Chains A and B, each alone.
Chain A
Amino acid sequence: DAKTTQPPSMDCAEGRAANLPCNHSTISGNEYVYWYRQIHSQGPQYIIHGLKNNETNEMASLIITEDRKSSTLILPHATLRDTAVYYCIVIETSGSRLTFGEGTQLTVNP
Chain B
Amino acid sequence: EPEVTQTPSHQVTQMGQEVILRCVPISNHLYFYWYRQILGQKVEFLVSFYNNEISEKSEIFDDQFSVERPDGSNFTLKIRSTKLEDSAMYFCASRTGVHSGANVLTFGAGSRLTVL
Q: Which of B53-89 contact A (CB under 8 A)?
A: 56, 58, 89
Given contacts A44-B91, A95-B31, contact A34 B110 (CB under 8 A): no
Cβ B107 vs Cβ A43 within 8 A: yes
Residues of A within 8 A of B103 (CB): 32, 34, 49, 89, 91, 93, 95, 98
Given contacts A95-B103, A97-B48, contact A43 B42 (CB under 8 A): no
Cβ B45 vs Cβ A99 within 8 A: yes
Cβ B45 vs Cβ A49 within 8 A: no
CB distance from A87 to the nearest CB of B (A): 8
The interface residues of chain A, by DSSP majority, are classed as loop
Q: Say yes or no: is A101 at the interface (Cβ < 8 Å to chain B).
A: yes
Cβ A97 vs Cβ B91 within 8 A: no
Residues of A within 8 A of B35 (CB): 44, 98
Residues of B within 8 A of A32 (CB): 103
Pick from B31, B56, B93: contact of A43, CB below 8 A: B93
Residues of A within 8 A of B7 (CB): none
Cβ B91 vs Cβ A43 within 8 A: yes
Q: Say yes or no: is A102 at the interface (Cβ < 8 Å to chain B).
A: yes
CB distance from A2 to the nearest CB of B (A): 14
Q: A97-B48, A98-B35 are in contact. List 15 more A-B contacts (CB 8 A).
A: A32-B103, A34-B103, A38-B43, A43-B4, A43-B91, A43-B93, A44-B43, A44-B91, A49-B104, A89-B103, A93-B99, A95-B95, A96-B56, A98-B103, A102-B42
